[in-house]
Structure 1
Amino acid sequence: MKQRVFVVGIDGSESSRRAAAYAVGLARRESARLIGIYVRPLPSGIVSLADASGAAASSVVASQDQVVTEFRDTLQRERTRLGVDMEIVVRQGDPFTELCQAARELWADAVIVGRSEGLLHRIAGSVAQRLVRCGHWPVTVVP
């Protein structure tokens, strides 16, 4: 029998941390493989034009690296303690597109994401809402 695969979207927000914690517990109970997907947003052209020295871009990359490092450290600690097969994949691009592509490539049985905390996402549609509407996988949205 094929091992189940769960994909969890992480972005460093509090809701994505809760989603990751939920996903770890679910993967442990289901003896499933857990893949954390971190999507680095494409650099904004406006930031590049306004920041000739590159300091702002370096700051953004450093904060993104911190999110990945934090999640990797947690994986190292919890993998042994909980006995869950976990890994992290870093991609670059649009979070919705990259999460869908990763879930397709990994033959995911479910996708777990945190609820959007931004007001704009509540109006225009969040990644979680778009994943639910996509309808390809069961999606759990963790508040």
Structure 2
Amino acid sequence: MNFELGTDGPRVIVAGVDGSETSMRAGAYAAGLARRERARLVVVYVTGAPAASRLIPDAAGAIEQALAEATEDMRRQVAAGAAYAGVNAEFVAVRGDPYQELVRVADALRADAVVVGSSRHFGHRFVGSLAVRLVKAGRWPVTVVP
């Protein structure tokens, strides 16, 4: 009987992070999974275009600077977490709707799995959280970390 060496697990794992406690746990979970499966880990940080920058044009520069600083801080956190977990993580920062951007990146990378944190917002029980929308898309296995 011949046995296959290696794994049948995911080769590309996309983790969505936004700085929340649950998303950071999701990133840690994805890093552990990537390490165990020897998979490529891509961490996606999605920021939206703040409404305040459209409403108050004078504040646009300060808002852009704050977003750039937050993105750089997240890049450092991801690099530190990846080093701690013993994996290489690619950091992708994008702007837009979190659902649409995660779908776009996961499709472009031909992801085998998507990992996100659970939502803590009360309204998502009725409207649908990011995680529920990703599961309903039915394109990849989705792990939702509490």
TM class, shorter-length: 0.7 to 0.9
Q: TM-score when scaled to structure 1?
A: 0.83
Q: State how far apart, in whole Å, the 1-side matches of 2:97 and 2:38 are.
A: 30
Q: TM-score when scaled to structure 2?
A: 0.82
1:43 to partner: Cα distance: 2.8
1:48 aligns to what?
Answer: 54
Any gaps of 5 or more consecutive residues in structure 2? 1-5
1:118 to partner: Cα distance: 1.0
1:67–1:19 distance in 2 versus 1, CA, 3 Å? farther
1:17 aligns to what?
Answer: 24
Any gaps of 5 or more consecutive residues in structure 1? none
Q: State how far apart, in whole Å, the 2-side matches of 1:117 and 1:67 are.
A: 21
Asked if 1:101 corresponds to 2:95, the answer is no
1:74 aligns to what?
Answer: 77
1:24 to partner: Cα distance: 0.7
Larger radius of gyration: 2
Contact 1:11 1:67 in 2 (8 A): no
1:59 to partner: Cα distance: 5.8
Contact 1:12 1:67 in 2 (8 A): no
Q: State how far apart, in whole Å, the 2-side matches of 1:73 and 1:99 are.
A: 20
Deviates more, 1:123-132 or 1:79-88: 79-88
Aligned positions of 1:83-94 closer than 5 A: 83-94=86-97
Identity of aligned residues (%): 46
Q: State how far apart, in whole Å, the 2-side matches of 1:60 and 1:123 are.
A: 31
1:108 to partner: Cα distance: 0.4
> What RMSD in Å do the two structures reach over aligned CA positions?
2.3
Residues 61-107 of structure 1 deviation map (CA, whole Å, 9 limit, x = unaligned): 45544443333223433444544121111111111011001000001
1:136 to partner: Cα distance: 0.4
